[in-house]
Chains A and B, each alone.
Chain A
Amino acid sequence: LAKTTQPISMDSYEGQEVNITCSHNNIATNDYITWYQQFPSQGPRFIIQGYKTKVTNEVASLFIPADRKSSTLSLPRVSLSDTAVYYCLVGPGTGGFKTIFGAGTRLFVKA
Chain B
Amino acid sequence: DTEVTQTPKHLVMGMTNKKSLKCEQHMGHRAMYWYKQKAKKPPELMFVYSYEKLSINESVPSRFSPECPNSSLLNLHLHALQPEDSALYLCASTAQSGEAFFGQGTRLTVV
A interface, CB within 8 angstroms of B: 32, 34, 36, 41-46, 49, 85, 87, 91-104
Complex Cα spacing A62 to B99, Å: 15
Interface presence of B111 (CB below 8 A): no
A-B contact count (CB 8 A): 70
Which B-chain residue is minimally distant from A48 (CB atoms)?
B99
The listed residue (B50, B92, B105) touching A99 by CB distance below 8 A is: B92
CB distance from A19 to the nearest CB of B (A): 21
A43 touches B4 (CB 8 A): yes
Tell me which residues across on chain A come within 8 A of B103, comparing CB atoms. Answer: 43
Against A, the Cβ 8 Å flags (1 = close, 0 = not) of B59-96 are: 00000000000000000000000000000101010111
A98 touches B30 (CB 8 A): no
Tell me which residues across on chain A come within 8 A of B102, comparing CB atoms. Answer: 43-45
Given contacts A36-B100, A103-B42, contact A95 B29 (CB under 8 A): yes
Given contacts A44-B100, A91-B98, contact A96 B45 (CB under 8 A): no
Which B-chain residue is minimally distant from A101 (CB atoms)?
B42
Describe A's contact surface by its main secondary structure.
loop
B45 touches A100 (CB 8 A): yes
Describe B's contact surface by its main secondary structure.
strand
Pairs across A and B, CB under 8 Å, 18 listed = A34-B99, A42-B105, A43-B104, A44-B100, A46-B101, A85-B42, A92-B98, A95-B29, A95-B95, A95-B96, A95-B97, A97-B98, A98-B48, A99-B33, A99-B94, A99-B100, A102-B42, A103-B42
Interface presence of B14 (CB below 8 A): no
Interface presence of B8 (CB below 8 A): no
CB distance from A55 to the nearest CB of B (A): 12
B45 touches A34 (CB 8 A): no
Complex Cα spacing A81 to B50, Å: 35
Which A-chain residue is minimally distant from B51 (CB atoms)?
A96
Interface presence of B12 (CB below 8 A): no
B104 touches A95 (CB 8 A): no
Tell me which residues across on chain A come within 8 A of B95, comparing CB atoms. Answer: 95
5 pairs of A and B residues whose beta carbons are closest in the complex: A43-B102, A96-B31, A101-B42, A95-B94, A95-B96
